[in-house]
Amino acid sequence: MSRPASRLATGGGAAIPGRMPAPPAIDHMDLPALLAAIASTEPAPGAGAAGAVALALGVACARKALRISARHHPADASLRAADTHLVTLGEEALAQGQGDARDFTALLEAMRLPHHDAAGHAARTAAIDRATAALRDTTERLVGLCDAATLRLEGVAARAEGIVTGDVDAARALIAAARAIHAANLAELDQARG
């Protein structure tokens, strides 16, 4: 999460002096562009967005395992229901990843506000508190999505066909990695606050 700020964000991505560009829309980027954006020197998207993408990839692997298994067990409605739920989780993961990039950018903007007098200091502190609260909420939602994806996957993993065990294992690993990233980001927010 903690990376240096270079410019503040605008609504349209155009640079304004002293402002950072808006983070790119990660849910509409092709993979090479997404990787380049995460690897760039811009503060966002960063680890939170990468964790959200890892979660979405884990969900995709889980869906593959469930969908192939459902073809072999057409009477098992729970496999189709799990797939439907995972679609929503994957979409929400990407939306929250975009939210993480937006909220982290807002936090960096707040930290750059002038604070040379009492009024400026109060305004800066209030802006930092709002941005931190928004980032915390987004990160907590991402942790919750990871937990929901894990519960949904584990609820049906035993019924997955043997040919897709690699997909189930990949789903578990990616979702666990995403959760670890978001838990670390929460810990970092707590440490910065305390």
The whole model's pTM is what? 0.85
137, part of any domain: yes
- Cα–Cα distance, 121 to 179 (Å, whole number): 35
Q: At a CB cut-off of 8 Å and minimum separation 6, what does 130 contact?
A: 106, 110
Q: How far apart are CA 43 and CA 3, in angstroms?
A: 5
The residue that leads in pLDDT, 18 or 71, is 71
* Confidence category of residue 18, pLDDT binned at 50, 70, 90: low
For the chain, the distance separating the N- and C-terminal CA atoms, rounded to the nearest angstrom, is 16
Total domains in the chain come to 1
**121-136 burial code (b ≥16 CB/10 A, e <16):** eeebeebbeebbebbb
Q: Give me the CATH number covering residue 62.
A: 1.20.120.680
Confidence band of 169 (pLDDT split at 50, 70, 90): very high
- Per-residue pLDDT of 48-81, as tens digits, reads 999 999 999 999 999 999 999 989 889 988 888 9
Burial category of 162 from C-beta neighbours within 10 Å (exposed 0-12, middle 13-18, buried 19 and up): exposed
pLDDT digits (tens, 9 = 90+) for 98-138: 999 999 999 999 999 999 999 999 999 999 999 999 999 99
Structural domain contains residue 29: no
How many angstroms separate the most distant Cα atoms in the chain?
69
What range does the domain containing 120 cover?
41-193
Report the pLDDT value the prediction gives residue 49, as an integer from 0 to 100: 95
Let me know: does 96 contact 50? Beta carbons within 8 Å.
Answer: no
Quick check: is 25 in a domain?
no
Domain-located, residue 14: no
Q: Are 51 and 176 in contact (CB under 8 A)?
A: no
What is the three-class DSSP state of 17?
coil
Report d(CA 100, CA 132) in Å as an integer: 11
Lowest mean pLDDT among 39-48, 128-137, 175-184: 39-48
Residue 47 placed within a domain: yes
More confident residue, 42 or 54: 54
Cβ-count burial of 17 within 10 angstroms (0-12 exposed, 13-18 middle, 19+ buried)? exposed
pLDDT of residue 19: 66
Render pLDDT for 136-166 as a digit per residue (tens, 0 to 9). Answer: 999 999 999 999 999 999 988 888 888 899 9
